[in-house]
């Protein structure tokens, strides 16, 4: 059980008591783009919050220095060194002995160019999806590039980048290379609007594209869709950007008739239960289940399949799409290991497997 400290003690210890106000100020700098606050729950909701859930609304840093107030990141360069050079990968023999099996279907994405009568979700791969609901198209962590830094792609994108229509919204969860891809930004239509957590707007704009920055609990509107930036338990780092200098997040997408949750990249934390309580009636939850071994290294920032299923239950969503597996070989387990472990866990616990949709790369799912 991770240790917890009180809000006042934590803020006093870190000297970050005033940075939350700076984060809010930065997020409101683009009010003309449809961003709305506040970052705290309404007074009538205060009595419904547990102490654990309350930490999701605490100050969490400011420009150049963000953190998770409920559990500061215990990661270190020493642990990274131990993992890469001193730790024995228990999956090494399996990974060397067989080629991972990841389902892929052919899809030219031609249907994305016009409104559809029924909602659908198309898998780009990894954490990338195209949500088509009515007239709007929303992309989540779109990645059409050849690789993520030194990690090459194991399957091509599920649909061509050229199939993405003008006027789409692209949501980014954080700045890691497997979620934020410069080639993708430069090669999607110029009028795609990029919705990003605090600190990433300048990067997107440096590539000639329009960005809207949001802080946790802020929301924006885009072509009939309401987009809400939510907490996640993760961190940020990228060449040219100092560690944790930009924020990370998950997303809630509301189209009027339906709600979609995209978990971005996250370890298990109390946020899933609070999101389910606060928003209710989520139709589809896209939840990461991969890049989780070894647990002593990855537990903070990546859920394993059992934790992903727990997050789905706490969200109270109707369907779950497992993601963050099968495209980039990021950690010790094989690429196709997460869904196999998830199926085994569901069988052992009696979970309703009919509510879990394991999508092939390129698959289009019409879920109504």
What is the reported pLDDT for 11?
36
Copy the structure tokens of residue 149.
């830094």
What is the reported pLDDT for 49?
56
Which residues have C-beta within 8 Å of that of residue 304, sequence separation ≥ 6? 289, 292, 293, 295, 338, 341
What is the reported pLDDT for 19?
30
- Domains of the chain (ranges, CATH numbers): 1-26+49-72 (no CATH), 84-365 (3.60.15.10)
For tokens 């999701």, name the residue: 56
Supply the Cα-derived Rg of the chain in whole angstroms. 19
What is the reported pLDDT for 289?
98
d(CA 58, CA 69): 7
What is the reported pLDDT for 117?
85
What is the reported pLDDT for 50?
67
What HEC string does the chain produce? CCCCCCHHHHHHHHCCCCHHHHHHHHHHHHHHHCCECCCCCCHHHHHHCCHHHHHHHCCCEECCEECCCCCCCCCCHHHHHHHHHHCCCCCHHHHHHCCCCCCECCCCCHHHHCCCCCCEEEEEECCEEEEEECCEEEEECCCCCCEECCEECCCCCCCCHHHCCCCCEEECCCCCCCCCCHHHHHHCCCCCEEEEECCCHHHHHHCCCEEEEECCCCEEEECCEEEEEECCCCCCCECCECCCCCCCCEEEEECCCCEEEECCCCCCCCHHHHHHHHHCCCCEEEEECCCCCCHHHHCCCCCCHHHHHHHHHHHCCCEEEEECCCCCCCCCCCCCHHHHHHHHHHHHHCCCHHHECCCCECCEECCC
Q: CA torsion, points 268, 324, 72, 7, in degrees to nearest 10?
A: -50
Which residues have C-beta within 8 Å of that of residue 114, sequence separation ≥ 6? none
Distance of CA 267 to the CA centre of its chain: 10
Residue 254, φ and ψ in degrees, nearest 5: -120, 125
What does the pLDDT profile of the chain (368 residues) look like in tens digits? 434 444 334 333 333 333 333 232 233 333 233 444 434 444 344 444 567 899 999 999 999 999 999 999 998 889 888 999 989 999 999 898 889 999 999 999 999 999 888 999 999 999 999 999 988 899 999 999 999 999 999 999 999 999 999 999 999 999 999 999 999 999 999 999 999 999 999 999 999 999 999 999 999 999 999 999 999 999 999 999 999 999 999 999 999 899 999 999 999 999 999 999 999 899 999 999 999 999 999 999 999 999 999 999 999 999 999 999 999 999 999 999 999 999 999 999 999 999 999 999 999 999 87
Beta bridge pairs of residue 130: 122, 139
Is the whole model's pTM more than 0.85, yes or no? yes
Copy the structure tokens of residue 272.
């899933």
CA quadruple 47, 51, 56, 60: dihedral sign: positive
């Amino acid at each position: 059980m991770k240790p917890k400290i009180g809000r006042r003690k934590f803020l006093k210890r870190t000297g970050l008591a005033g940075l939350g106000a700076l984060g809010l100020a930065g997020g409101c700098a683009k009010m003309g783009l449809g961003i709305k606050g506040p970052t705290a729950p309404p007074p009538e909701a205060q009595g419904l919050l547990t102490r654990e859930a309350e930490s999701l609304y605490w100050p969490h840093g400011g420009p150049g220095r963000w953190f998770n107030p409920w559990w500061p990141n215990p990661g270190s360069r020493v642990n990274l060194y131990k993992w890469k050079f001193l730790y024995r990968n228990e999956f090494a023999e399996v990974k060397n002995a067989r080629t991972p099996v990841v389902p892929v279907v052919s899809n030219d994405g031609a249907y994305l160019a016009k409104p559809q009568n029924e909602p659908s979700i198309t898998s780009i791969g990894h954490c990338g999806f195209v949500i088509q609901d009515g007239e709007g198209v929303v992309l989540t962590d779109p990645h059409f590039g050849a690789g993520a830094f030194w990690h090459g792609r194991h399957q091509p994108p599920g649909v061509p980048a050229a199939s993405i229509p003008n006027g789409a919204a692209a949501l980014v969860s954080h700045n890691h290379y497997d979620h934020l891809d410069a080639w993708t930004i430069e090669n999607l239509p110029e009028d795609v609007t990029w919705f990003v957590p605090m600190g990433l707007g300048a990067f997107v704009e440096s590539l000639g594209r329009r960005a809207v920055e949001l802080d946790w609990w802020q929301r924006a509107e885009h072509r009939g869709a309401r987009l809400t930036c939510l907490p996640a338990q993760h961190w940020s780092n990228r060449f040219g950007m100092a560690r944790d200098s930009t924020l990370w997040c998950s997303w809630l997408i509301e189209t009027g008739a339906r709600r979609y949750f995209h978990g971005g990249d996250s370890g298990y934390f109390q946020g899933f239960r609070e999101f389910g309580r606060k928003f209710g009636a989520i139709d589809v939850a896209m939840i990461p289940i991969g890049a989780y071994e070894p647990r002593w290294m990855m537990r903070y920032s990546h859920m394993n399949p059992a934790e992903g299923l727990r997050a789905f239950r706490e969200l109270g969503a109707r369907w779950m799409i497992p993601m963050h597996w099968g495209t980039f070989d990021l950690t010790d387990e094989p690429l196709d290991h997460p869904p196999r472990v998830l199926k085994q866990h569901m069988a052992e616990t009696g979970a309703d497997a009919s509510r879990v949709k394991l999508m092939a790369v390129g698959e289009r799912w019409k879920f109504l």
